[in-house]
Amino acid sequence: MFDRRLIKNFDWGFAILIFLICSVGLVILYSALTAGQDAGTVHILFKKQVIWMGAGFLIIAITVMIDFKELDKLNLFIYTLCVGLLISVIVFGQLGGGSRRWLVIGFVRIQPSELMKIALVISLSSVYSTSVSQTGLNFTRLIKPAVLCMIPFVLIVNQPDLGTGLLLLLIAGSITLFVKVERKVFFTISGMGLAVAPLVWFSLKDYQKFRILTFLNPDRDPLGSGYHIIQSKIAIGSGMLTGKGFLKGTQNALSFLPEQHTDFIVSVLAEEWGLVGCTGLLILYFLLLLWGVNIAYNCRNMFGSILAFGITTMIFWQIFINIGMVMGLMPVVGVPLPLVSYGGSSVITNMVGFGILLNISMRKFSPN
Amino acid sequence: MSEFSKNPDKEWIKQRLIVASVCVLLVFVLLFLRLVYLQIIKGEEYRLLSEKNAVRLKSVKSSRGLIFDRNKTLLVDNRPSFNLKIVLEDAGDVKETVQKLAELIQLPFPELMQMIARAGKGAFYKPVTLQTDISREQLALVESHKFDLPGILIDIEPTRYYIYKKTAAHLLGYLGQVNSQELKTGKYPHVRTGDAIGRYGIEKSFEIYLQGKRGGRQIEVDANGRTIKILKTVEPVPGFDVNLTLDLELQQTAEKLFGNRDGAVVAIDPNNGDVLVMASNPSFDQNDFIGGISSKKWKALMSDPGKPMNNKAIQAEYPPASTYKIITSLAALEENHIDRYSTAYCPGFYKYGNRVYRCWKKHGHGEMNVINGLAQSCDVFFYQAGEKVGVDTLAQYALGCGLGKRTGIVLENERKGLIPTSIWKKKRYNEVWQGGETLSIAIGQSYNLVTPLQMAVFMAAVGNGGTLYRPRIVKTIEDNHGQVIQKIDPEITGGLPASKDTLDIIRSGLLKVVQGDRGTARSIRLKQVDIVGKTGTAQVFSMAKGEKIKTEKLRYGLRDHAWFICYAPAENPVIAVSVIIEHGEHGSSAAAPIAGALIDQYIRKMSSEETRWE
């Protein structure tokens, strides 16, 4: 049943690249943890992350076993399951930082909004693989994808987690543009968006406006996110060309950056390893993304191509939003950096994604 | 399949993937350029800032809303307090610095170190408060030695100041430091560790309005932690001001008249339920609570037998005594057991079953009707009236008059009092109601309990024609520009269960209490205005039959409580007063004069204001 050719076709290069980024991630995480926590906590958190990554590789191993084309058949089931989890978060969810995002099953805390990203990519790939055409999609063909998108979006934004909600839209939008929409459709939707935006804006309450403006421009909140950004910029800038050296960062003490081991981890890398280290990580990520695009190109199955592209897009947006935010180019949103930020949900989700990519890569020669 | 012809081929997909890759490349180039900008072009500047750990966040306390009386006289203010703080990062050798500081201004060194220890690990860059409200002398010493004391800084922060010490302390309340459990509830989003929140009275009930919102500054500091530059500021939002219905002058008069006696006074405006006076004696100094009350002072307050921390106006429950005869006559009249002319003969006692119930007047009042019964407070008349009405019907009327339930004033821990019924007794003691107990109830003894505020609201309703108001203590809430944020309108909670005729009869009886030649409170009669009221003497202890001890010899704690409730003028009243003096013995001699003096002052004040307006 298990084809030997599959092992021969296993994409070792991609797997090694993932392993490399994980290792770099752990090194940076160690720095970030030591600066802000006492020795005992560092040990616990670091060990946890190593375990998560180990589990991640296990998940990769499991994911590559099942032919990705099964995902096409199961797409609606996976999607419904994840939406179900999102709804149960509303009912049973655990509060954390003022929003309800976590679901506790036994001793594991999961964040269904993370899993939803993968589920949505699979569902959209499935829908688009049958409807894609060189002339582009028309309105009627976009109705189903739009519905698939809006259900989880509304649920996630209400948690409230605006960042993840918007990330979902960005991923879905990118995939949709990739499979091409009719020019007419593109301009109509863009035009409608521009027309409706002011109406929505004026119907908002003052405090809601303030929140959105702060989201777009952290400087408006100099005591909150604005302060984090300025500290983050100081940390990054002070790294200069070669950095201050491993564990020699001074800026990342707890009182400056509250989430240095999660969302602001790049500032630790930049401070200790300088421009050289940052460029290294950027290159690794760029290779990762190109590899993903290449997998999409080499796959002979339309569903597989779109799926590979979709997963790559998901990784891309996370990297761009996270690094952009830390450097003050992007709004302050809680998007973790793939394989580097601390956090189980993020590691697992991304590992599932990489597993799917490896899966597609292995089976690129089987057309149907 | 027609779809198939349009199906994308390899070349088409390749093209789209190339476009996508170029987009990714551009984004990465952008990220790289940003890195170059931050790390190479601005690198030097940021390196310097990071070495000094120079950009800090400084929180700026908002000033709490002010509290005014009805005439816009300021009652509760904020004053600047000099708070001594330390930033550990800048302090060099922390122990040495603190030791020097302790010697310089004579503060206990271990206590200061304890404050630092309590702040925990995360506090390296945040100022830790060592001592709040240091004196001007200490301030001068610290300022003149500031170069020997690295990391020590002085923050000027607003702190609460109660202008009139001990005045209306129970009503205004006080502040206390927030504790970590309260912070965890999420009820106080703008409050931080070390902040004070309302703990009692108005300060507590109106916390969310008074609180305001913290501001803060991003500042750049030098190596000693001193501010070089303010980078960004968010101004604090001051809390809202609260305008009370209280009349400061009247309140002060009431408190002065009390002297060192225990008890409470409430005065309200019968036309809207506005609380003009709410005094409870003994009182306490709210300023003692600022920055934490010392345990010695706290112990003294808690062990004082006069219970200074209790707001007796709403929390103390007393037997209503003869003031309850108003309820009994109201019920008897409404139920048609008596009318204006029905009489009873008082020989000085009333026989019920095989017990004898005595009248306070040993030799009796003779022939009594309801009006004279009220005026002379004849017990025998009301024994008979109460017997006819019955305990449960009487209770219904009492509840209708607002007794036995909270008035709904916006202060915490208001007590309900107690109006007994036969069912209540069955539940409480598992005993059957005895007919004789009804007689005691009818004259306000036995199980009945009321608060001074309840009696004031009730008396106001008798005066205004039967409308029960919810006592209002806050009229308006304003922002610091004087714009009204919230207006609290008078609120009617019910009406007395009495017809106009019934009320007229009761009023003429109560008018004779003061104006009649034999009235129990005739001694407080005023020239310019008629007072309508009722005295009461509540037994704390029932003396054994026939025993007569000179009251001066009777232990203080066993002496009777003195009641007086009233309103004035007789027509269109403007003020209703309820006074209780614990162990004051006689309503007529102890309580009534306080009410009389308050009314006198209030009426004079009103007429002088009127002349001013004319």
**Closest partner residue to B47 among A38, A132, A238, by Cβ?**
A238
Instruction: Pick the closest to residue B413 from B485, B479, B316 (CA basis).
Output: B316
Nearest CA in chain A to B13: A297
Which range is least confidently modeled, A2-11, B88-97, B241-250, B464-473? A2-11
The pLDDT value given to residue A261: 75
Please tell me the distance from the alpha carbon of residue A253 to that of residue A263, in angstroms, as a whole number.
15
Question: Hey, are the CB atoms on B50 and A226 less than 8 Å from each other?
Answer: no
The larger pLDDT score, comparing residue A49 to residue A93, is at A49
The pLDDT value given to residue A286: 97
Please tell me the distance from the alpha carbon of residue A308 to that of residue A360, in angstroms, as a whole number.
7
Please tell me the distance from the alpha carbon of residue B295 to that of residue B135, in angstroms, as a whole number.
21
Distance (Å) from the alpha carbon of A301 to chain B's nearest alpha carbon: 10
Instruction: Pick the closest to residue B409 from B325, B484, B474 (CA basis).
Output: B474
Average pLDDT over residues A171-193: 91
Please tell me the distance from the alpha carbon of residue B97 to that of residue B150, in angstroms, as a whole number.
7
**Closest partner residue to A237 among B13, B21, B42, by Cβ?**
B42
Query: Looking at the predicted structure, is the pLDDT value of residue B552 above 70?
Result: no
Q: Which residues contact A241 (CB under 8 A, 6 or more apart)?
A: A274, A275, A276, B39, B40, B43
As a whole number of Å, the CA-based R_g of chain A is 21
- Banded pLDDT at B612 (limits 50, 70, 90): low
Chain A positions touching B36 (Cβ under 8 A) are 275
Share of chain B above pLDDT 90, in %: 50
Question: Hey, are the CB atoms on B126 and A132 less than 8 Å from each other?
Answer: no
Question: Hey, are the CB atoms on A253 and B49 less than 8 Å from each other?
Answer: no
Chain A positions touching B233 (Cβ under 8 A) are 222
Handedness of CA B536, B542, B546, B551 (dihedral sign): negative
Please tell me the distance from the alpha carbon of residue A308 to that of residue A129, in angstroms, as a whole number.
12
The pLDDT value given to residue B323: 93
Question: Which tokens belong to B200?
Answer: 């009692």
Chain B positions touching A210 (Cβ under 8 A) are none
The pLDDT value given to residue B1: 36
Please tell me the distance from the alpha carbon of residue B171 to that of residue B164, in angstroms, as a whole number.
13
Question: Which tokens belong to B358?
Answer: 């005595």
**Closest partner residue to A234 among B16, B55, B234, by Cβ?**
B55
- Banded pLDDT at B3 (limits 50, 70, 90): very low
Question: Hey, are the CB atoms on A236 and B53 less than 8 Å from each other?
Answer: no
Question: Residue type at B613?
Answer: W
Query: B residues 234-273 near A, CB within 8 Å?
Result: 234
Q: Are B270 and B463 in contact (CB under 8 A)?
A: yes
Query: B residues 45-64 near A, CB within 8 Å?
Result: 45-47, 49-51, 53, 55, 57, 59
The pLDDT value given to residue B397: 95
Q: Are B591 and B581 in contact (CB under 8 A)?
A: yes
The pLDDT value given to residue A37: 65
Q: Which residues contact A186 (CB under 8 A, 6 or more apart)?
A: none
CB pairs < 8 Å spanning A and B: 140
Query: B residues 287-306 near A, CB within 8 Å?
Result: none
Q: Are A286 and B28 in contact (CB under 8 A)?
A: yes
Query: B residues 187-226 near A, CB within 8 Å?
Result: 215-216, 218
Q: Are B104 and B278 in contact (CB under 8 A)?
A: no
Chain B positions touching A236 (Cβ under 8 A) are 35, 38-39, 46
Please tell me the distance from the alpha carbon of residue B514 to that of residue B534, in angstroms, as a whole number.
8
Q: Provide the H-helix boundaries in B335-421.
A: 370-376, 379-389, 391-400
Chain B positions touching A219 (Cβ under 8 A) are 232
Instruction: Judge whether B40 is closer than 8 Å to chain A, CB to CB.
Output: yes
β-bridge mates for residue B229, sequence order:
B220
- Banded pLDDT at B541 (limits 50, 70, 90): low
Distance (Å) from the alpha carbon of B237 to chain A's nearest alpha carbon: 14
The pLDDT value given to residue B545: 40
Query: pLDDT, tens digit, for every residue of A99-141?
Result: 667 777 766 777 889 899 999 999 999 999 988 888 888 888 8
Average pLDDT over residues A61-76: 91
Instruction: Judge whether B426 is closer than 8 Å to chain A, CB to CB.
Output: no
Average pLDDT over residues B17-36: 95
The pLDDT value given to residue B4: 41
Q: At A66, is the secondary structure helix, strand, or coil? A: coil
Distance (Å) from the alpha carbon of B190 to chain A's nearest alpha carbon: 13
The larger pLDDT score, comparing residue B6 to residue B390, is at B390
**Closest partner residue to B20 among A178, A236, A256, by Cβ?**
A178
Q: How close are the terminal C-alpha atoms of chain A, in Å?
A: 16
- List chain B domain ranges: 56-244, 248-283+312-613
Task: Give helix B379-389 / helix B391-400 axis angle, nearest 10°.
Answer: 100
Neighbours of B305 (CB within 10 A): 9
Question: Hey, are the CB atoms on B122 and A254 less than 8 Å from each other?
Answer: yes
Nearest CA in chain A to B58: A223
Handedness of CA B15, B19, B20, B21 (dihedral sign): positive
Distance (Å) from the alpha carbon of B121 to chain A's nearest alpha carbon: 9
Matching residue, tokens 């007590």 = B415
Question: Residue type at B430?
Answer: N
Instruction: Judge whether B608 is closer than 8 Å to chain A, CB to CB.
Output: no
Please tell me the distance from the alpha carbon of residue B408 to that of residue B385, in angstroms, as a whole number.
31
Question: Hey, are the CB atoms on A222 and B43 less than 8 Å from each other?
Answer: no
Q: DSSP string covering B186-210, please?
A: TS-TT--TT-EEE-SHHHHHTHHHH
Decide the pairing of beta strands B575-581 and B263-268.
antiparallel
Q: At B496, is the secondary structure helix, strand, or coil? A: coil
Please tell me the distance from the alpha carbon of residue A65 to that of residue A63, in angstroms, as a whole number.
5
Distance (Å) from the alpha carbon of A221 to chain B's nearest alpha carbon: 8
Chain A positions touching B15 (Cβ under 8 A) are none
As a whole number of Å, the CA-based R_g of chain B is 34
Question: Which tokens belong to A46?
Answer: 């670091």
Query: Looking at the predicted structure, is the pLDDT value of residue B526 above 50?
Result: yes
Q: What is the pTM of this model?
A: 0.70
Task: Give helix B391-400 / helix B325-334 axis angle, nearest 10°.
Answer: 110
Q: Which residues contact B491 (CB under 8 A, 6 or more apart)?
A: B273, B408, B469, B470, B472
Chain A positions touching B27 (Cβ under 8 A) are 316, 320
Interface test with A, best of B1, B17, B126 (most A CBs within 10 A): B17
Please tell me the distance from the alpha carbon of residue B424 to that of residue B544, in angstroms, as a whole number.
27
Handedness of CA A161, A167, A173, A179 (dihedral sign): negative
Matching residue, tokens 């501010």 = B227
Q: Residue B68: enclosing H or E segment and its boundaries?
A: strand B67-68
In the 8-state DSSP scheme, what is residue B403? Answer: T
Query: pLDDT, tens digit, for every residue of B440-462?
Result: 999 998 889 999 999 999 999 99
Instruction: Pick the closest to residue B459 from B373, B411, B395, B531 (CA basis).
Output: B531
Question: Hey, are the CB atoms on B40 and A240 less than 8 Å from each other?
Answer: yes
Please tell me the distance from the alpha carbon of residue B97 to that of residue B257, in angstroms, as a whole number.
53
The pLDDT value given to residue A257: 60
Please tell me the distance from the alpha carbon of residue B391 to that of residue A76, in angstroms, as a whole number.
73
Cα–Cα distances in angstroms (integers) from residue B512 to residues A200, A337, B371, B505, in the given order: 71, 87, 8, 11
Interface test with A, best of B25, B32, B35, B190 (most A CBs within 10 A): B35
The pLDDT value given to residue B489: 94
Query: Looking at the predicted structure, is the pLDDT value of residue B5 above 60?
Result: no
Nearest CA in chain A to B31: A324
Interface test with B, best of A132, A177, A230, A238 (most B CBs within 10 A): A238
Please tell me the distance from the alpha carbon of residue A43 to that of residue A315, in angstroms, as a whole number.
28
Q: Which residues contact A195 (CB under 8 A, 6 or more apart)?
A: none
Q: Are A346 and A163 in contact (CB under 8 A)?
A: no
Share of chain A above pLDDT 90, in %: 48
Query: Looking at the predicted structure, is the pLDDT value of residue B62 above 90?
Result: no
Domain at B56-244, CATH homologous superfamily: Penicillin-binding protein 2a (Domain 2) (3.90.1310.10)
Per-residue burial over A75-113, b if 16 or more Cβ lie within 10 Å, else e, is beebbeebbebbeebeeebeeeeebbbbbeeeeeebbbb
Chain A positions touching B39 (Cβ under 8 A) are 236-237, 239-241, 270, 274-275, 278
Question: Hey, are the CB atoms on B218 and A223 less than 8 Å from each other?
Answer: yes
Query: Looking at the predicted structure, is the pLDDT value of residue B33 above 90?
Result: yes
Instruction: Pick the closest to residue B251 from B160, B166, B173, B310 (CA basis).
Output: B166
Chain A positions touching B57 (Cβ under 8 A) are 223, 227
Q: Are B513 and B375 in contact (CB under 8 A)?
A: yes
The pLDDT value given to residue B2: 37
Q: Provide the H-helix boundaries in chain A.
A: 4-9, 12-36, 39-65, 69-92, 112-131, 139-157, 162-179, 183-203, 206-216, 225-238, 265-298, 302-326, 344-362
Handedness of CA B288, B290, B293, B298 (dihedral sign): positive
Q: DSSP string covering B93-111, please?
A: SHHHHHHHHHHHHT--HHH
Interface test with B, best of A240, A281, A326 (most B CBs within 10 A): A240
Q: At B154, is the secondary structure helix, strand, or coil? A: strand
Question: Which tokens belong to B292?
Answer: 């934490």
In terms of Cβ atoms closer than 10 Å to its own Cβ (0-12, 13-18, 19+), residue A365 is exposed
Domain at B248-283+312-613, CATH homologous superfamily: DD-peptidase/beta-lactamase superfamily (3.40.710.10)
Query: B residues 120-179 near A, CB within 8 Å?
Result: 121-126
Query: pLDDT, tens digit, for every residue of A26-50?
Result: 999 998 888 666 677 788 889 999 9
The pLDDT value given to residue A328: 86
Instruction: Pick the closest to residue B66 from B209, B245, B279, B248 (CA basis).
Output: B209
Query: Looking at the predicted structure, is the pLDDT value of residue B7 above 70?
Result: no
**Closest partner residue to A237 among B14, B43, B125, by Cβ?**
B43
Instruction: Pick the closest to residue A178 from A39, A7, A314, A29 (CA basis).
Output: A314
Interface test with B, best of A129, A130, A221, A223 (most B CBs within 10 A): A223
- Banded pLDDT at A254 (limits 50, 70, 90): very low
β-bridge mates for residue B565, sequence order:
B534, B578
Chain A positions touching B187 (Cβ under 8 A) are none
Q: At A240, is the secondary structure helix, strand, or coil? A: coil
